Each structure stands twice: as structure tokens, then as C-alpha cells.
Amino acid sequence: MPSHSTAHYFLEGLADLGIEFLFSNLGTDHVSLIEELARWDREGRAHPQVILCPHENVAIHMAGGYAAITGRGQAVLVHVDAGTANASMGMHNLFRARVPVFLMAGRSPYTLRGELPGSRDNYVHFVQDPYDIGSLVRPYVKWEYTLPSGVVAKEALTRGYALMQSDPAGPVYLSLPRETLAEQWEESAIRAFPPARYGPVRAGGTEPDIARRIAAQLLAAENPIAIASYLGRKPEAVAALDALARECGIRVFESNPVYLNIPRDSPCFAGFDARAAIAEADVGLLLDVDVPWLPKYVPDNPGARWVHVDVDAIKKDFPMWGFATDLRVQGDCATVLGQVLEIVRADADAGFRARAATRIAGWEGMRQERVQRITAAAGISGKAGAISPDFLCAALNAVLGQDDIVINEAIRNTPAVLNQIVRTRPQTYFGLSGGGLGFSGGMALGAKLARPGSRIVQFVGDGGFHFSTPTSVYAVAQQYNLPVFTVVLDNGGWQAVKESVLRVYPDGTAAAANAFHSRLEGRQRHFEQIASAFGAYGEAVSEPGQVAGAIERCLAAVDAGQAAVLAVRVTPL
């Protein structure tokens, strides 16, 4: 009976699960996997494509970008505790975004004297062996395991995959001892664990009585609103929300949108600030949202009845979560909203439909006022060294198509991106769900890998650009022909730090001295040259009159297959 290494069966297990990519930063712990990959290549066997990333921050977020578009979690292979630590910030972001990813790390050998194949043969094998490697990512995973034997390699992979893809989706972590990967096993010892029988569990709808209760509240409502954040991870949910909003006359707001949740040209889309509407609402829907508003700034409305429909309604990974609701439903928003819509359409009479239509028509004045404010902001171009972010984003909006994808890490300039870059189609906008800056470069690459026919436009502040390990981003873009367009909004530092101090100490010493320790200054700041060092087209602008031409040249480079970086000196902090 033929025998093979655990690494061989491990690759078979990944292939059985349909894993397409192995985003990797390899090390001494992966020798058996590297040997097997070479043998499979020699024999012409198909395996997940290895994407080498010079830094784990890019690897983990690239897997996240691919999964955000496709819904299919991919594998990330990193080096012992060091690689796990480098990937941990990305795990935090993807955990909060409920994006599936399978992080795997080798482990230092546990034998010291050559007792087993793969035993320690290097200094680093002693210093890269922590007491608890899983603790580096444990707060951000749904499942964690150390592979104890090759005989269960496929079963462990199947179990991790099922947890990763089950609703709410999220990261999982598997560590792989070097001796375990080198073990030899006869084929007869290895069982198959087909995903069809051991696969993930999906969230569904709700009980008919619950759907009827929600429909009844909407049918009786005079001023209903909805707030969403990550509902749009499923395109069908976007269509369901827009249809229900139009049927019932619901104003829809997005709070810290992670995805596009409703077409922003819908008559029911009301913007990104629900504070005034909350005070007037009688029925409110919280739909796949973690932080619908900031309680410090939004008074309770005792007259509002709140319905919360969420794939994670209890917020089990938030130690504190202070939003009272009158009905809480854990389920899939697309399915639940579809159930409610069916009941509303069956039960609504002509009077209700007339009232809903009147409500929607009555918002036109507010919508026009909002459009006028956005247009007016876009018309102020700024000055030399202080280009207006709204002016810049409006110029980009004029040349982007609705299938182009925006990855937003503008942070304090996010309002300009949200208001000026009009997105109308699902999965054409992605924002930051977690708190780890530096996510957008890798996410952009992963999105491009998933949607090669779409332009990917990454907005990032200068502070976030530093965090994003940009040399790794553009090295990967060049090696794998993934032309993304990066727009660096350079305001000279971290505006968020300054604003946070001012919120707590508006008249304090730091404010008086303008000393916030948030400026990133230097005689030279050439973000575009970092990209150029790895084959990307780079350009910098500091005058409003330079913007349109620079955008045209950058997009021409991207359309010709070359990544591009446009560094823009925007209004300084």
C-alpha cells in the first residue's frame, strides 16, 4: 500500500474542500509542504495556487478581500509565532467583518535530537516555540486547533472549514507541528470527510409568527427607518432591503458601512447619519449592524419600537453592547426581509400603499438638500498643498464605472469617499469593520484576484498607508499581475488622534498648543516612489488643477495592467 507524508494528505484535504489559494509567507516549519508542492507540480497534480506575500499583513487581508467578494474563505499559511503575530491584526479585522479565512501556522519542532523526521536543526526552532501560540489570535477566531497526527489531517481541515463558513462566518486557526507534517501514512489509514456531509451551517429565516409581527409593525408605522452596516455581504440582501423599503416607505441609513447595503441612488437611501431620524422614528429596523449610533450623542427615543435582525444578533463577541431592542431575531437578513416583504405585499391595502408612496415623495426635499450639500463640497477645490478631499473624490466619481470596486480606508476623510463616490451595486464598496489600520492594500489585491475585470480603487490615508506594508502590496501586485489603483489622502498624519483628544479635552493644553503627537512630518514624503520601486506607476499632486490629469494617467496605467499610486496632498490636519 503506498504511503505519503501528512503534508501530502493535507494538500489533498485543501483540494477536497475547494480551497483555491494558499496565501503564504513560508519558513523553516513548512519544509514538508514545500517538498510535496514540488512533487505535485512535477506530477502535474492540481493544488491550491500559492500566492507568496512578503508580509503576512498582505496575505491575511488578501484572503479577506477574495472572501469578501466570493464568500469563499481561503487558506493563509504563515511562519510559526512570528507570522501568526504579523497576521493577528488582520484576523481582528476579518473577525469583526465576519469574513471567513483559514489561518494556518507551522510550529517549531518538538523533538530536539533527531528522534523524528523534521526534528530541530536550527537556532530559531528554540526561540520560536512559545507556551501558547494560539493566544496570539484566540480573541479573533471561531475555532483553534493543533494538528496532533496526520491520520486526522483531512478531518481537522474539514472541521475548521465548516466552522469558518458557518454563519456568522469568520476566521479559524490551525497550527501544524513540523514532525506531524513529516509523518508517513499509508493511504488506507486516511479517511475522506466530504464537505457535503461535514459542511457549514447557514443562517436562515425566522418563524412565520415573528415575520408577521415585523410586517404588522411596518404596516402600522408612520415613520419607519432602517440602519444597516454589513447586510450587503450578500447581494441578495441588498435587493431585499431596497424592495422592502420601497414597499413600506422606509428611510434607510448606513452606519459605518462595511459593504454597500442599499443602492445609493434609491429613493429610500437617506445617508450615513441617522441621528435626526431616530428622534422622529416610531419603528426602527437594525439590520446586520454592530454600532447603529453612538449612544453618547443620540438620546433614547422612548416612542420607537426597535426590531433587530442580524446574523449575530446577540453580539456574542462584544463584552458590552448597549442597544435595547423590542424584538431580536438571529437569522439571515435576505431571507427574513424576504419573508416580511411577502407578508406586507399580501396584506397591504391601497391606503397603505398610498401612505408609503407619499412618505417617499415627501423625502425628495431632504434628498435634494443633501445632494446640494455634497455638490457644493465638491465644488470647493482647495488650494496648493491642501486639495479638498471632496473635490478629489468627485473627480474620481466622474470617471469610475458602477462595476468598479472601492476599498475605503480614508478614516477621517471617509465622509468624502462615501458622499462623493456614488455606489449603486452590491459588492462595489468595502470599508473597515475592525480597528486595525493597514487593511486596504491587501483587500484591494484580493478583490482584484476575485474580480479581474473590475477596477479596484483603494482610498487610504497616509497613516494607514504606512501600516499597510506597501512594499509587500506592490511586490505582490507586480508578481501576480494585479493592477490596483491606490489613492493616498496625505493630510500629514493621524487626524483621528487629534480629533479624539479634542472630543475629550476641547479646551485643554494639547488644543491650546496644537500638540497632538499625530503629525507625520519630514523633508520628503514620496508615497508614490514606494510603489514605483516595485513596478507601479506613481504620481503625486499638490495643486487642484493637477487632479484630473493625474487620475487619467493613473487609470490608463491600471487599464494597461500596471498598478498605480496617486499621492494627494489634501487639507492638512
The reported pLDDT for the residue numbered 168 is: 97
The reported pLDDT for the residue numbered 494 is: 81
Pairing of strands 382-383, 386-387: antiparallel
DSSP 8-state secondary structure symbol assigned to residue 519: B
The reported pLDDT for the residue numbered 374 is: 97
Amino acid type, 344:
V
Write out the H or E segment, with its range, that includes residue 126. helix 124-127
The reported pLDDT for the residue numbered 106 is: 95
The reported pLDDT for the residue numbered 495 is: 82
Q: How far apart are CA 463 and CA 569, in angstroms?
A: 13
Q: Are 453 and 400 in contact (CB under 8 A)?
A: no
Q: Which 3 state secondary structure label does DSSP give 271?
A: strand
Q: How far apart are CA 161 and CA 507, in angstroms?
A: 52
The reported pLDDT for the residue numbered 343 is: 98
Q: Are 54 and 26 in contact (CB under 8 A)?
A: no
Local mean pLDDT, 10-residue blocks, the chain (573 residues): 93 97 96 97 97 98 98 98 97 97 96 94 93 96 97 97 98 97 95 93 97 98 98 97 98 98 97 96 98 94 96 95 95 98 97 97 95 97 96 98 97 96 97 95 98 98 95 98 98 87 92 88 88 96 97 98 97 89
Q: How far apart are CA 272 and CA 219, in angstroms?
A: 25
Q: How far is CA 389 from the centre of its chain?
A: 23
Terminal-to-terminal C-alpha distance of the chain? 69
Q: Are 133 and 78 in contact (CB under 8 A)?
A: no
Listed in order, strand segments (DSSP E) in 182-300 are 184-186, 224-228, 251-254, 269-271, 283-287
pTM attached to this predicted model:
0.96
The reported pLDDT for the residue numbered 496 is: 84
The reported pLDDT for the residue numbered 8 is: 97
Q: How far is CA 276 from the centre of its chain?
A: 28
Q: How far apart are CA 318 and CA 15, in angstroms?
A: 35
The reported pLDDT for the residue numbered 223 is: 97
> In 10 A of CB 454, how many CB atoms?
16
What cell numbers appear for 357 in the block? 408612496
Q: How far apart are CA 94 and CA 345, in angstroms?
A: 37
Q: How far is CA 464 from the centre of its chain?
A: 15
The reported pLDDT for the residue numbered 519 is: 86
